[in-house]
Amino acid sequence: MSTKKENKEKLNFALGRENYKLLAIGFVIIVIGFLLMLGGKSESPDKFSNDIFSFRRITLAPIVVLAGFIFEIWAIMKKPKDAEK
Q: Which of 11, 25, 23, 30 is nearest to 82 (CA)?
A: 11
Examine the pLDDT at 8 and tell me if it is beyond 80. no
Sign of the alpha-carbon dihedral angle for 26, 29, 30, 31 = positive
Of 83, 37, 45, the closest CA to residue 61 belongs to: 37
The pLDDT tens digits of the residues spanning 24-58 come to: 999 999 999 999 999 888 788 888 888 889 999 99
Mean local confidence (pLDDT), 56-78: 96
| Contact by Cβ (8 Å): 29, 68 | yes
User: Across all residues in the chain, what is the average pLDDT?
Assistant: 86
Please check the confidence at residue 2 and state whether its pLDDT lies above 80: no
